[in-house]
Structure 1
Amino acid sequence: MKNNYTPEIRFPGFTEDWNQRRLPELMEFSNGINAPKESYGKGRKMISVMDVLADEPIIYENIRNSVEVNDTTESKNKVENGDLVFVRSSEIPDEVGWAKAYRQEKYALYSGFSIRGKKKSKFDAKFIELSLNYSNRKQIESKAGGSTRFNVSQSILSSIVILEPSIEEQIEIGNFFEKLEENIALHKQEITTLKQTKQGFLQKMFPKEGESVPEVRFPGFTGDWEERKLLNNIEKVLDFRGKSPTKFGMKWGKSGYLVLSALNVKNGYIDKQVEAKYGNQALFERWMGKERLEKGDVVFTTEAPLGNVAQVPDDNGYILNQRAVAFKTSIEKTDNNFLAQLLRSPLFQTKLKTNASGGTAKGIGMKEFAKMSATIPVSVDEQTKIGNFFKQLDETIALHQRELDALKETKKAFLQKMFV
């Protein structure tokens, strides 16, 4: 049973209460290196804020920066196996005081924008990192000073109190989460590789500027592609921008018909987790009317972010909301899978940004979009081949993304139950 001194879930064989410890009992704090600008980019690897905030563990060879300093400075600023590095200052309160364990045999240095916790007693560095970043996170944030920029100091870190079990239980917990994070990192790398592969195919399977054929084609297809106005190849555009379902007095729910805004439309898939809002049957009927979104329809974001493209994944009912439009095609004109990839091709994305207007959050209206053209295969069969090829790639990427999301949720759940 969980109490104030034991977590809800424990490894077998551990029953003792966890004990309160102040961080200065575990480590000594010091600020990092501030060297002349000509000293950077060479010498020993130097841990920066970016390394601490990155999802992956700090690996010496992957550390982003380096610095060359004299032997005395280097000796005073070593980050060794078992030490922790903290973010000293940030404009974002969620980042300030964030900790990362260093578990490499080769020592590194650390920058002046960070604080080192030099290990002085026995503890598992991964366990302490997780404890500080999750179960004790509010304790750090509440003490971080600043208005536009937030800061932690050595004295603030010295005031933090944590609960820790025996070193044996710390190691079990630390190793458990390290393996889980390695699995997460593996999935992230697989997704990155797949996206890079897809980007390479997009560059080769769609014509470049001024050309009428792509570099790579499926066997059996020859002849030039044609320059066409995009909207001439689209049967219908669903556009509800400038309006809002909330004008109907609707209250968002947690289930029902997913309301698609630009935030839900990722490149290649509809994200049902981010900013998910739902409407009921009455709103769906009143808002969408006869203009139903159907499986395969292409959804395109017109601003913030501009140019994301995904396809409606099923016929379960979606409400089209702000900053996004949907394109319906007919097989006689254009294959919808092909259209989705065409809108994401490098050349079209470049043209899109050129025709967009606005400041930092650029957008495009349908009048401007109607002027845009693209080079398209004359044969719908070739479009279908290309569309299906990329759709399979998208489905593979989406599968890995769902697995990654599930692993992240698993980690989050265990962090809540395995720490006090």
Structure 2
Amino acid sequence: MKPKLRFKEFTDDWEEKKLGEIAENFIGGGTPNTKVPEYWNGDIAWIQSSDIDKNSGKVNVEKHISDKALKNSAAKLIPSSSIAVVTRVGVGKVALLNHEYSTSQDFLSFVNVYGNPQYWFYEISKLMYKQSFYLQGTSIKGITKSEILNISTFCPSLPEQEKIGKFFSLLDQRIEKQERKVALLEEEKKGYMQQIFNQELRFKDEEGNNYPDWEEKKFLDSFSLIIDYRGKTPKKLGLDWGNGNIKALSALNVKKGYIDWNADVHMGSEDLYSAWMKKGDLKQDDILFTTEAPLGNTALIPDNKKYILSQRVIALRTNENCNPKFIFQCMNDFTFENQIQKRSTGTTAKGINQKGLSKIKIQLPSLPEQEKIANFLSLLDQRIEKEQEKLHLLKQEKKGLLQQMFV
């Protein structure tokens, strides 16, 4: 068995093995008694499933335990260069640790791996992703040690393992560098927004003069139209989706500042659109706002195509005194977000209605200054989107190479 893509100096077939054959030992974990403080004041990393990022395998250790905790619990001290695999809550997560650690009972660690640990980290990650996919939609809560160790795979010689492991490690470093670049740009924008909406940073007109002072206004006075079709479903209209080509936008699609077209998008027919959107069509730069689950996400309608406005989201159309892109940016400022949270109701799922929105006030500059602010922040958004696209392409490149360079 050979992969589709490999380094040209390697030609031998890969050898079939079970995961139970690739390491000297396989160690589980445990949770020390949380009611004993001296168990949790040590310097031994204690890893739980929530500490591991599913996509990258990065570990953010939240808790540490003591030697006494190890002696009085099922937790074990696991050596550096071991591979930690989540077996229960969070199946599919895998991490390669470059330091000693311990884990909860939801893990199985591969200790003293035969071969290159980096290579086996990527291979096991690929295999466990498949296992998590198989378990989706079933009542099975995890995967047993014997099931993991019985998984078959193919592996190359040690020199090829080392080259593959180093190659993907370098690719991950490129991805991490790009992630940091995106994060820095996002922090830069947050800083500018804080200064702008606190009015510490002001813009001037074309002649260098100050714009008028900002005025406090009711938030809902910024809009000429509120489009709200919450509660409507095809069934209530006596129809079905109809397999058309008109996208239905729900709260699932509206993220913080953008529309996620990869989320579950229903496609509606012309008949459904006509029956559903009787109060008005969506237009370019209408502001989408999620009223619950999740609360407070916003996005701009990108064009004048037809869209069906679906569950848990409303659309806001600004009046002639307000720039839609300025109001959109205002709604993404933490001051506005705090007001939304304060006015929300509910316990398990927080939400807000128009009565709650009517009590919110915002500071509004003159229209010319709104436009300057909107243009400035939109340029920052474009820079962020450009770098996010580079990050997305790197991740797609890695995904494709993983499929081709492993059997």
TM superposition score normalised by structure 2: 0.83
CA contact (8 A) 1:47 1:111 kept: yes
Match of 1:31 in 2: 28
Quote the residue 1:387 is aligned against. 374
Give the alignment of 1:245-264 within 5 angstroms.
245=234, 247=237, 249-251=239-241, 253=243, 256-264=245-253
On the 8 A contact 2:293/2:312 being kept in 1, the answer is yes
Q: Answer yes or no: is the 8 Å Cα contact 2:42–2:67 preserved in 1.
A: no
SS in 2 for 1:85: strand
Q: Distance in 2 between matches of 1:187 and 1:371?
A: 41
Preserved CA contact (<8 Å) 2:47 2:104: no
Between the aligned partners of 2:261 and 2:212, the Cα distance in structure 1 is: 41
Q: CA deviation at 1:201?
A: 2.7
2:110 to 117, 120, 127: 117
| Equivalent pair of 1:306/1:362 in contact (CA under 8 Å) | yes
| Gapped regions of structure 2 (runs ≥ 5) | none
Match of 2:64, SS state, is: strand
1:131 to 2:123 alignment: yes
- Give the root-mean-square deviation of aligned CA atoms: 3.2
User: Partner residue of 2:228?
Assistant: 239
Query: Does residue 67 of structure 2 align to residue 69 of structure 1?
Result: yes
Show CA shifts across 1:272-294 (max 9, x none). 11112333445445543583322
Corresponding letter in the other structure for 1:119: N
1:355 aligns with 2:343: yes
Match of 1:401 in 2: 388
> Which whole-Å deviations, capped at 9, do the CAs of 1:14-73 have from their partners, x for residues lacking one?
3333222123322111234755642435434455434444544558xx644434427x97
Does the CA-based 8 Å contact 1:97-1:152 persist in structure 2? no
Shift of 1:236: 1.2
2:203 partner letter: F
Contact 1:84 1:129 in 2 (8 A): yes
Structure 1 consecutive aligned stretches of length 4 or more whose deviation exceeds 6 Å:
140-144
Q: Is the 8 A contact 1:7 1:419 kept in 2?
A: yes
What is the match of residue 203 of structure 2?
218
Give 2:8's match in structure 1, choosing from 8, 12, 18. Answer: 12
Map 1:323-362 onto structure 2 (within 5 A). Answer: 323-330=312-319, 332-362=320-350
Aligned to 2:86: 87
Separation (CA, whole Å) in 1 of partners of 2:332 and 2:128: 43
C-alpha change, 1:125 and 1:364, in structure 2 (3 Å) is same
- Distance of 2:299 and 2:404 partners within structure 1: 36
Aligned to 1:417: 404
Task: Give the structure-1-normalised TM-score.
Answer: 0.81
Distance 1:130 1:257, change over 3 A: same
Q: Is the 8 A contact 2:286 2:316 kept in 1?
A: yes
State the AA in 1 paired with 2:109.
R
On the 8 A contact 2:54/2:94 being kept in 1, the answer is no
One-letter amino acid of the structure 1 residue matched with residue 118 of structure 2: K
Q: How many residues align?
A: 392
Q: Report % sequence identity.
A: 32
Contact 1:46 1:108 in 2 (8 A): no
Written as runs of structure 1 = structure 2, the 5 A alignment for 1:260-299 is: 260-288=249-277, 291-299=280-288
Q: Report if the CA contact (8 A) 2:45-2:65 is conserved.
A: yes
Q: Is the 8 A contact 2:43 2:66 kept in 1?
A: yes
Matched, 1:99 2:99: no
Structure-2 change in CA distance of 1:167 and 1:359 (3 Å)? same
CA distance in 1, matches of 2:266, 2:401: 27
Give 1:210's aligned residue: none
Aligned to 1:211: none
Contact 1:48/1:110 (<8 A) preserved: no
Per-residue CA deviation, residues 297-353 of structure 1 (Å, 9 max, x unaligned), is 2111111111111111223332211111111123x3101111101222222212212
| 2:290 equivalent in structure 1 | 301
Q: State whether residues 298 and 336 of structure 1, in contact with CA within 8 Å, keep that contact through their aligned partners in structure 2.
A: yes
Secondary structure in structure 1 of the residue aligned to 2:248: strand
Aligned to 2:353: 365
Match of 1:389, as an amino acid? F
User: Which deviates more, 265-274 or 170-179?
Assistant: 170-179
Are the aligned partners of 2:225 and 2:318 in contact in 1 as well (CA < 8 Å)? yes
222-231 or 267-276, which deviates more: 222-231
